[in-house]
Amino acid sequence: MPLFDSLRKSELPRVLEFFAGGGFAIKGLEDSFHCVFANDNDPLKSRTYTANFGPTHFDTSDVWTLDANHIPNAELAWASFPCQDISIAGSRKGLNAPRSSAFWGFWRLIEAMADEKRAPQTLALENVAGLISSRRGRDFTTVIETLADAGYRVGAMVIDAALFSPQSRKRLFIIAHKGRIPEGLEANHPDPTYHPQNLQKIVAQMDPTCRMAWTWWQLPHPQERSIQLEDILDRKVPENAWRSPEAAQKLIAQMSPAHRAKFDAALKQKKWRAGAVYRRIRVEDGNKIQRAEVRYDGLAGCLRTPAGGSSKQLLMITHNGEARLRALNAREAARLMGLDDTYILPEKETPALQVIGDAVSVPVVNWLSENLLKKLVLRPSRS
């Protein structure tokens, strides 16, 4: 690392990154924070992280086996704890299910650091928006109660990556802080852009202790997104990337009349068009039926890990009256997450998509970092 970069990083507030995955959070934080510790025990994600950021501050232990004594001091801790048991695509068993119980593994480390009076003053927790409704709000309320009981002021926001990049991806961000909150970071009322009705309803039902600790974080609204899905797609791909004409026709046949009308309108246009397609099971007249749903609003659907055919994001490309079908490739998926093409992905498509599908949107993290997190933390006092 050049000396100038090293000196610059030494002046930045420090961050601990738990459940780091491929390092998408630190990509969003790196302009304003210096990562001094990162952890993930998934071998694929660990290899991807260290390929991009180096191994010096990375620990591959399970979060339950980490020793707080080996974790350095930092002003911020970021935790994107596993969401499979909470998300719409998961089993919805809640916060105490095996994967999501990793949250408690993280929390025991924060408690141990607090016992030594060195816990991070600011915490950022990221998860699927489904955490708000998980077990009728009990899981979300449990997290808020845990943070409030530890002396943190706490608030949450739902931010859609579509505000910044061409992907519909809503995620929940819980931000907790100990100490003085600078002026201008709290609002008297919720903002519908970041505080949806279901969040407002759960907060209204909280007990007085949680309500006393709760705050509505105030964020500015970003400028209107200018980049569209078609802007990040490869116009030229290997011929073997294309699905057969029969596969394309089968998908078209699975469209409902409304989605078929969208496709037909795009097909009539001479210009190059790309529609994002997901296959979903819908109930029609009491029967379950697989439907192909296409969108031409400049957005891709929410990227998922490649667990099966329905989880793959497909692209219906139309040009001069011809329609061709292919899957979104890993590099395109990385661009949807806000990464540039210098980011090192696993060589094979499926592992690369696994790293990407579990990750957080880089521009969203950067927006949070620049407009809230860096304003909350104090300048580091080395110890």
**223 Rama sector, left if φ>0, alpha if ψ -120 to 50, beta otherwise:** beta
Q: Tell which residue, 259, 272, 357, has the closest CA to residue 320.
A: 272
As beta bridge partners, residue 58 has 38
Name residue, tokens 């001091």: 73
d(CA 95, CA 83): 9
d(CA 238, CA 62): 40
Token code pair at residue 115: 């016992």
Q: Can you give 353-365 as a three-state secondary structure string?
A: HHHHHCCCCHHHH
- Residues 366 and 163 sit within 8 Å (Cβ to Cβ): no
Q: Got the DSSP string for 220-255?
A: PPPPPP---HHHHS-SS--GGGBPPHHHHHHHHHTS
Q: Tell which residue, 12, 13, 23, has the closest CA to residue 53.
A: 23
Name residue, tokens 């707080």: 68
Catalytic residue positions, numbered: 83
d(CA 49, CA 40): 9
